[in-house]
Amino acid sequence: MLTNIEEKNEHKLSQESKRKYTNLLIMMFLVSLPWMIIKSLTLIGVFKWDYENYALMSAIMTGITIIACAFIVSWASEVLQEYLPPNFVLALLAIINILPEYVVDIYFTYMAGIKEEYTHYAISNMTGANRMLIGLVWPLILIIYLIAKSKKSPSLPNYIQLDKTNILEITFLMISTLYCFTLPFKGNLNLIDTLILFIIFGIYIYLATRMGKREPELEGPPLIISQLPEKFKKFMIFFMFSFSGLGFLLSAEPFGESLLVLGSKIATNFGFDADTTKFLMVQWIAPIASESPEIIVVIIFAYKLLAPDAFSTVVSSKINQWTLLVGFIPLVFFISLLINSKTGKPLILDELQKHELLLTAAQSLFALVMILDMKFKIIDAILLFILFTTQLIIPDIRLQVSIAYIILSFIFLLRLITSKQVRNTLKESFDYTLHQIKNSGKEN
């Protein structure tokens, strides 16, 4: 069976396509190397890299390395499906999707155990990435889909119709969102939060794998790798994971520190507040780099009129960020305190951090209520984008925008639950999904 698939894939690729995808793979390795060489030489003492004088160059080079390594590790994980149980691969892919975001945020969190001001950066990086997924990427998917639809298939609907099984993602994103709503009122992040959020993610993955989900057929660089001789293919998978892991480790600290230096320079040159500028650099510039591989992939899906797949991908990533990423913050903070001989304690949130978490949870709630009818429509995208950009342009209105999200959530919820059609759609989605899970359990 596998041989037949490989033979089929072999015929699907022309020599020109093979050359193009091979060159793309090689290019990702090559653009990663300059910074990895510089950092390695710095670590062994050949010379010292000065962040203060080369902050912009450091940010660009480390950002490029993170993006390239993210592509490399995602391609390797796709090929890995040939060797590992599908259930395990699904869990692995769920983590790998936002691995670059983990690397950057974990660095800031670890540093928060040494310098208290880094707590701001850990929280801002996490909340920025979360809000960008919904406020920017969700509308972007719909825009690309509508453009592609107008050119390729005008008869398709002017909205994204979610699959019935997406009710699983919506349910667990709602559970994690409601739990994260408690964090700003609790005022801290601790190991109990880590345990609960990890459990939520674990149950989600368990149920998702019981539904028999599979990744799409290999294409592009992963297909090229899958056609290599068996021993060389295994070596390539190992090498790609190792190379990417090293790239992330060598880039996380200088990427974060370079952004802070750039923030200080921008503040000095333009008369802004230094702390606010650094906060915003970490909140928005860092996620753009770390999320870019995923954004590129979902844009391609949307342009291929696979908008439901693109939407499912970003909703799943949102679950990962709202569970694993948030859960890692108190865990890494606790480990940092122990390593640096400090008393283990929760990560205390100040007013700004509380407002950031509240705003992020409120946005997530509003987005989820919008898609309870299993559709993502133009009006939904417009509202999400307007509220997101308003708070982005005027950062000090976090609390006001949070309240607006919550009020709109209740308005939309009342409108939806009074609709018999929406209630029937939700019931059908739940029944179908539960049926899939039960049947898979019987087969296993």
Q: Give me the residue spans of the domains in the chain.
A: 2-90+104-443
Buried b (16+ CB within 10 A) or exposed e, 119-151: bbbbbbbbbbbbbbbbbbbbbbbbebbbebbee
Distance, CA of 33 to CA of 61 (rounded, Å): 10
Predicted confidence (pLDDT) at residue 94 exceeds the cutoff of 80: no
| pLDDT tens-digit readout, 351-389 | 999 999 999 999 999 999 999 999 999 999 999 999 999
Q: Which two tokens stand for residue 262?
A: 């750039």
Confidence of residue 312 (pLDDT cuts 50, 70, 90): confident
At residue 5, does pLDDT exceed 80? no
According to the model, what pLDDT value does residue 120 have? 87
Three-state secondary structure call for residue 347: strand
Residues 6+ apart with CB under 8 A from 196: 179, 327
CA gap 32, 13 in Å, rounded: 27
CA dihedral 158, 160, 161, 163 (to 10 degrees): 160
Residue 99 pLDDT > 90 = no
Task: Identify the DSSP state of 83.
Answer: T
Is 189 in contact with 349 (CB distance < 8 Å)? yes
The CA–CA distances, whole Å, from 232 to 1, 100, 222 equal: 21, 27, 14
Architecture of the domain delimited by 2-90+104-443: Up-down Bundle (1.20)
Q: What is the mean pLDDT of the chain?
A: 86
Q: Determine the average pLDDT of the residues in 292-314.
A: 82
